[in-house]
Amino acid sequence: MHTGNVQTIESAQLHRTDAIIIGAGPCGLFAVFELGLLGLSTHLIDILDKPGGQCAELYPEKPIYDIPAWPVISGQDLTERLMQQIKPFSPVFHLGQLAESLVKTAEGQWRITTDAGTSIEAPVVVIAAGGGSFMPKKPLLEHLEAYENESVFYAVRKVEAYRGKHIVIAGGGDSALDWTLNLQPVAERITLVHHRDGFRAAPHSVARMKDLVSQGAIDFVVGKLNKLVGPAPKLTGVSVTTAEGEKIVPANRMLAFYGLTMKLGPVADFGLNLSENLIPVDTEKFETSVPGIFAIGDINHYPGKLKLILSGFHEAALMSQAAFQICRPGERLRFQYTTSSTQLQQRLKVA
Amino acid sequence: MKINVTDHRGAQHELEALPGWRVMEIIRDWDVPIKAECGGACSCATCHVYVSDEWLEHLPEMTGEEIDHLEQLATRRPNSRLSCQLLMSDELDGLDVIIAPDSMG
């Protein structure tokens, strides 16, 4: 095997665990807990760079009123408390990665490989992918795809890759502002382009950005992206429609931050008999049509399904019972309560 | 109380509505396909509808959040609204909307 590129080196680092959980939203996180109580180890993969799924990405500050024993809790607080609750089980997170392929190995294990080259093997896979993967919303520009991954990006993987570059950053949210500030020291020049002089971002970031503009360290253009200039995939400039007319901003990189949208992604190709983008499961084990692969939370479907966080929690508990039988064949599973079982309390690191 | 909704095929649906319900919730409740990814948190702009001109003056003012989301849409028109921000009331009885292409379920 050649080790000339990162991908190969990464895939050489094969992780092994009891259960691979795709999706680190509330249901994926609670699955760590239920599997952990049964002594099963877990790795989680999520395309977001933080745990919490929709709760963290779409409505961190919105109150949720139907979590048992919490008359009101925000998406962010729910995520933080779940993280606290699963801490004793030391789950391994692979964040900012997309679960790209699922194959069965010769040894009968499931192997998942991510777009970053991480490979994980386990006897059990739990799909807790909610409404699908969060993918960047793209600007509507002609020939955009021809520039992607060479000159146009929707996320920053390595700051170093932007050293000495002329960068157009498009958008008016926290991501656009944060990356304008973070890349400014390494970039040759940054031009922030937003359709208006108003931002949906932390006020201190906006203030710092405006300071940099007044110091002449960066440029800010109010306008709409019009077209990409240069022989694709090499970008030489970005044409922007401003109140004064068309303006070409010289640039060899463009970063567009227009928020995220949900797409099912590669899970659609895992061979799970999807019906209307949902994965049919039974209601005893929440297992899919493929033995050893389970689906819980918003992504599954069964008669009577309710897309509620609390339903996902219940599904995680029942799934775990079946997952135990697969991971520990022949071992007897005892039903125990956390209030009285010393074994569970040891696993929870309270006894 | 009713609303009229035009779906992705151009078919018109007259839907029974309840006061206090969000227009997005009514559309979803009757299984007319609409994405509405965030479930009504004004966080995603996938419940985008075009409102018939005669209804525009009856609608509630837009919040800054709604304006921000709509401004990012290439499909935005002067009569664009996020249907999760429209609460049904007697004043909106008979409201006429078309689901925008980016929000068709």
Query: What's residue A8's pLDDT?
Result: 38
Instruction: For chain B, say whether A200 makes contact (Cβ under 8 Å).
Output: yes
Whether A113 is in a domain gets the answer: yes
Contacts of A196 in chain B (CB under 8 A): 71
Alpha-carbon Rg for chain A, nearest whole angstrom, is 23
Do A42 and A17 meet the contact criterion of CB atoms below 8 Å apart? yes
Query: What's residue A190's pLDDT?
Result: 98
Pairing relation of β-strands A42-46 and A19-22?
parallel
Considering its fold, how many domains does chain A have in total?
Answer: 2
Contacts of B43 in chain A (CB under 8 A): 58-59, 62
Cβ-defined contact of B43 to A58 (cutoff 8 Å): yes
Cβ-defined contact of B38 to A54 (cutoff 8 Å): yes
Residue with tokens 């996180």: A29
Pick from A54, A194, A298 the residue to mutate for testing the B interface (most B CBs within 10 Å). Answer: A54
A245 and A265 part of one domain? no
Domain boundary residue, one of A225, A242, A258: A258
Nearest to A62 among B41, B68, B72 (CB): B41
Q: Which residue of B has its CA nearest to A194?
A: B72
Query: What's residue A60's pLDDT?
Result: 86
State whether the Cα torsion A171-A172-A174-A176 is positive or negative.
positive
Helix ranges (DSSP H) in chain A:
6-12, 26-37, 53-57, 75-86, 144-147, 174-183, 203-214, 309-327, 342-347
Query: What's residue A223's pLDDT?
Result: 92
Cβ-defined contact of A58 to B72 (cutoff 8 Å): no
Residue with tokens 């665990």: A17
The segments of chain B whose pLDDT lies below 70 read: none
What is the share, in percent, of chain B residues with pLDDT greater than 70? Answer: 100
Cβ-defined contact of A59 to B46 (cutoff 8 Å): no
A185 and A302 part of one domain? no
Cβ-defined contact of A140 to B37 (cutoff 8 Å): no
Backbone dihedral angles phi then psi of residue B45, each to the nearest 5 degrees = 60, 30
Considering its fold, how many domains does chain B have in total?
Answer: 1
Kindly state the tokens that stand for B44: 């995603």
Domain that holds residue B62: 2-103
A320 and A216 part of one domain? no
Cβ-defined contact of B37 to A258 (cutoff 8 Å): no
Alpha-carbon Rg for chain B, nearest whole angstrom, is 12
Domain that holds residue A104: 6-134+261-347
Mean pLDDT by runs of 10 across the 351 residues of chain A is 38 85 98 98 96 90 93 96 98 95 96 95 97 88 95 92 97 92 97 90 95 98 94 97 96 93 89 92 97 97 96 98 97 93 95 88
* The residue type at B103: S
**Dihedral of the CA atoms A243, A248, A253, A257 (nearest 10)?**
10
Report how far residue A15's alpha carbon sits from residue A307's, in angstroms, rounded to the nearest whole number: 32
A251 and A269 part of one domain? no
Do A190 and A180 meet the contact criterion of CB atoms below 8 Å apart? yes
Pairing relation of β-strands A152-153 and A253-256?
parallel
The CATH number that applies at residue A166 is 3.50.50.60
Q: Which pTM value belongs to this model?
A: 0.82
CA distance A274 to chain B (A): 16
A187 and A332 part of one domain? no
Number of H helices, E strands in chain A: 9, 23
Residue with tokens 């044409």: A239
Q: Which long-range contacts (CB under 8 A, 24 or more apart) does A333-341 make?
A: A333/A38, A338/A37
DSSP of B7-24: -TTS-EEEEE--TT-BHH
Cα–Cα–Cα angle for B53, B59, B64, nearest 5°? Answer: 110
